[in-house]
Amino acid sequence: MAPLAGSSTASFQNTENPKPKLPIPEPIYSNIPGTWAYDTMSRRVDEEILQRTYEDNKDVLEREDFGTIRSKFDALRKDLQTSSKLQMLEELPSDASPERKREWQEWKTILQPFLDRQDTWLTAPWMVTEFYVYRRLIEAIGFWDQDSPGYLYDPFVKQKRAGLESSVGSAEAMLAKIPNLPKSSSEGINLAASIALWGNKMDLSLWPADASHATIDIFSTILDKAQENLLHDDSDKLAAHGEQLRQRGGGNVDIIVDNAGFELITDLALAQFLVDSGIASSVTFQLKSHPTFVSDALERDLLEHVEHYANLDPSIYPNARQSGEKWETFLKDGKWKCNEDNFWVQAFAMWDMTEPLRTDLKERCDLAFVKGDANYRRLLGDCKWDMTASFEDVVGAYFPCPVCALRTLKAEIGCGMDADQIERAQSLDDNWQTNGRFGVLHFGSGASN
């Protein structure tokens, strides 16, 4: 399977995967000063992310048994600081599992063309190097090595748990609203999706104190407010598709999860609404297979979030506690499932989705929500599309099932945006592409339709 556009490498597994209808432009590189990509790879990853990671794990990294891990961690930072040439991952032991061997081979496929070109951290495509940082970190830790003191160790767990604990106050107010969303009208699914998109930026002040007495007009007003900073809004298409699923007794819906903390709680709230409304008969959470991008959620994070909420003090957080208990029931009954896959932590464009994941989505999934900026970048292959290029032609043409992308803009990349809305955003904010103030709600029909 091929890595991102612009690589000469042959397909790793399936050369027949559908591709975007439009010609694929070149990928984003991180060697242009003044861009967000350049700042990320030349400074932010080392000075902010890895430095914070060291500080959060200092007691562990300075233990004697973590000496080799600390040396590899320091070597990774030095490579970034000097923009050294990329290097292949360490060879696996001969008794490595088939899954580990496959994962390593997939990364070899991603990296080989850039190793052949003797690329550095700044001259290889941005998506490749950014994902590669975290794969190198996992290698340094010995995350999959049962003989390593870092076996299954998550260096970001402190930050994720802080996000979980700080989420409860905002979530209590938000989760009071979810059971009262209209289940058989477009406002319901669109509000649930808006909450999942905007997170704690969603303005709940318009909601009446007694949410059970909210009218459709009030819901419409709240939705209009939520949509003010959308640069494209396909909520009508999402609602129509959701109603089709509800009318036939519910479909299989996947949520391709991004961050832990409050954002994950909004994903769980969306999933709760989808099941309660009859739009979904089951929800599968697609999660990362190893710690990456600091706050990205693993299965263990999701289960910890659910357990935490199910055990909150009901006298202080009655709505959050009630939701947590409901989520536990959904997981126990099999209405909710978790799936970790290596694909979600690899620098493949999503049109090069690996098997068996792609076939599973094509044959089983009736709607996939794609959350967050990094996942959105992969939907676009991290390529320089025209901002107004049709999302249907770029993503809907190849994605294996109907897809809804929920994204606040945090990188200089996009498609499917309305020209007048782009102009408005530019006039309001010089950093409109990177600060999360603006967002998109895209819907694509999928290659199977």
Q: What is the pLDDT of residues 392-440, one digit of tens each?
A: 999 999 999 999 999 999 999 999 999 999 999 999 999 999 999 999 9
What's the rounded Cα separation, in Å, for the pair 442 and 420? 17
Q: Per-residue confidence at 220, pLDDT binned at 50, 70, 90?
A: low
Q: Are residues 377 and 234 in the same domain?
A: yes
Q: What is the pTM of this model?
A: 0.93
pLDDT the model gives residue 8: 31
Mean pLDDT of all residues in the chain? 92
188 shares a domain with 105: no
Confidence at residue 182, expressed as pLDDT on a 0 to 100 scale:
87
Q: Give the three-class secondary structure for 319.
A: helix
Structural domain harbouring 62: 36-123+125-141
For the stretch 271-290, pLDDT in tens is 999 999 999 999 999 999 99
pLDDT over 70 for what percent of the chain? 91
Packing angle, helices 318-333 and 299-310, rounded to 10 = 130
> In this structure, are 231 and 284 located in the same domain?
yes
Q: What is the mean pLDDT of residues 200-219?
A: 55
Express each pLDDT in 21-73 by its tens digit.
999 999 999 999 999 999 999 999 999 999 999 999 999 999 999 999 999 99
Per the domain annotation, does 403 fall within a domain? yes
Q: How many domains does the chain have?
A: 2
Q: How many residues does the chain have?
A: 449
Judgement on whether residues 301 and 372 belong to the same structural domain of the protein: yes
Higher-pLDDT residue of 46 and 225 is 46
Q: Is residue 113 assigned to a domain?
A: yes
Which among 309, 297, 343, 349 is positioned nearest to 174, based on CA atoms? 309
CATH number for the domain spanning 236: value is 3.40.50.10880
Query: Which of the four pLDDT bands, split at 50, 70 and 90, describes residue 11?
Result: very low
Same domain (yes/no): 110, 167: no
Residue 184 pLDDT: 82
Q: Average of pLDDT values for 100-104? A: 97
Note whether 47 and 196 are same-domain residues. no
pLDDT of residue 49: 97
**Are the CB atoms for 402 and 446 separated by under 8 Å?**
yes
Give the burial class of 430: count Cβ atoms within 10 A of its Cβ; 0-12 exposed, 13-18 middle, 19 or more buried. Answer: exposed
Same domain membership, residue 392 and residue 280: yes
Q: What are the Cα distances from residue 270, in Å, to 49, 163, 255, 378?
A: 29, 19, 9, 22
Q: Are 347 and 3 in contact (CB under 8 A)?
A: yes
Question: How far is the C-alpha of 449 from the C-alpha of 445, rounded, in Å?
Answer: 6
The verdict on 92 and 185 lying in the same domain is no
Q: Residue 309: pLDDT above 90?
A: yes
Of 141, 176, 199, the last residue of a domain is: 141
Last residue of a domain, one of 94, 109, 141: 141
The reply to whether 112 and 181 lie within a common domain is no
Residue 205: per-residue pLDDT: 55
pLDDT band at 202; cut points 50, 70, 90: low
Mean pLDDT of 155-168: 96
Q: Which of 149-163, 189-203, 284-298 bottoms out in mean pLDDT, i.e. has the lowest?
A: 189-203
